[in-house]
Amino acid sequence: MDPKQTLPSLVIKGRTIKVPIIQGGMGVGVSLSPLASAVAEEGGVGIVSSAALDRLITKRTGKKHTTYEAVFEEISQAKAKGGVSGINIMVALIKTYEDTVKASIDAGADVIISGAGLPLGLPVVKNPGDTALIPIVSSARALELICKKWERVGYRPDAVVLEGPLAGGHLGFKFEDIYLDSNKLENLLPPVKEMAEKYGDFPVIAAGGIYTHDDIVRFLKMGADGVQMGTRFLVTRESSATDEYKQAVINAGKEDIIVAQNPGSPCGLPFMVIKESPSFQNALQKKRKPRCDKGYVLRPDREGNFNQCRARLDNGGNFCICNGLLSSAGYNPDQEAPLYTVGANGYRVDKLTTVKELIAELTGKTNQSC
């Protein structure tokens, strides 16, 4: 076997991370403390997804939790065994965004990663103290907008995640722009790296479609300081996805993973999905009765009342992302069919593994997956 290149450490806000791999924040309920703490123990950055934590932790403990309480508890659990861990917070979750940020900082999260929209107001929610603030972007232009906005309050990103169009979940591109050569991750990286250097030379984390040790080495040689990977951690024993979700990924072929548009996510962003997901199929065939009983992605109307959602009245153009993803985490499968999201390379996953085995593979200590 050819010797594999040793991966360098990653430094974010003065904190040294042994393995330059950030586990992607997969919501709803896939990235919880068992997965995040396992990744942190192996030297990477473990990430909890904030989406629907109040319901998930309430169900797990049998005790009613507010968003703040659930976030505080889950981050505390993720940090209990040491290492570096934090949380992914979607900007699109407007109603719970500020409470989630405050709880994350109060619980001592090492990092807050924020995307699904531009986190322009993140630094002013609460003094982050030692918590690193890391936006997710899909272009140099978006990063510059964030840097200019944050500069006004005397802050700059502690790192940035550059997410290309092969990532799972929501994508930060117009549907018609996803497959342009200019939007390939390797082509997005140089201008984003240049922008990061311009505004303080903070680390750039490449994400979307990175699958093997060799992929990691390639992007590090191109100028990335680290990588973020979600799909590889989805089908691990420590992931909180249901067995059915994990098996759906293992069974998926390349042609089974698509970017959903119509029906699509009510957030309005392109969304990578396994097309045989029951929730997606129900929306496609207009079998789902439109309703909204979770409301995580509700937006305010002109009077400020949170009651706007594309999936609330329409049973064909959009699937209910709240209920679909909750079902894929085993929360309410009797109420709504599950929705399975995965990155474009998900078809390459052919078995269940452990975080320890996966990190060993990704750092070049064992044979790589094909």
pLDDT tens for residues 135-192? 999 999 999 999 999 999 999 999 999 999 999 988 888 888 898 899 999 999 999 9
How many Cα atoms within 13 Å fall on the side-chain side of residue 85? Answer: 31
Q: Is the dihedral of CA 11, 217, 169, 43 positive or negative?
A: negative
CATH 3.20.20.70 fits 15-240+350-362, yes or no: yes
| Model pLDDT, residue 337 | 87
- What CA–CA distance (Å, rounded) separates 167 from 181? 16
| Model pLDDT, residue 316 | 67
What is the pTM for the complete model shown? 0.93
- What CA–CA distance (Å, rounded) separates 66 from 310? 25
> 30-52 as b/e, with b when 16 or more CB fall inside 10 Å?
bbbbbbbbbbbbbbbbbbbbbbb
| Model pLDDT, residue 349 | 96
Name the token pair of 223: 């100028």
Question: Mean pLDDT in runs of 10 for the chain (370 residues)?
Answer: 79 97 91 96 97 92 95 96 96 92 98 94 97 97 97 97 92 88 95 97 96 96 97 96 95 95 85 92 83 78 79 76 88 83 96 97 76
Local structure of residue 268 (DSSP, 8 states): S
| CATH 3.20.20.70 boundaries in the chain | 15-240+350-362
| Model pLDDT, residue 1 | 42
| Model pLDDT, residue 297 | 79
Please name the helix (run of DSSP H) or strand (run of DSSP E) that holds residue 278, with its range, or none: helix 278-284
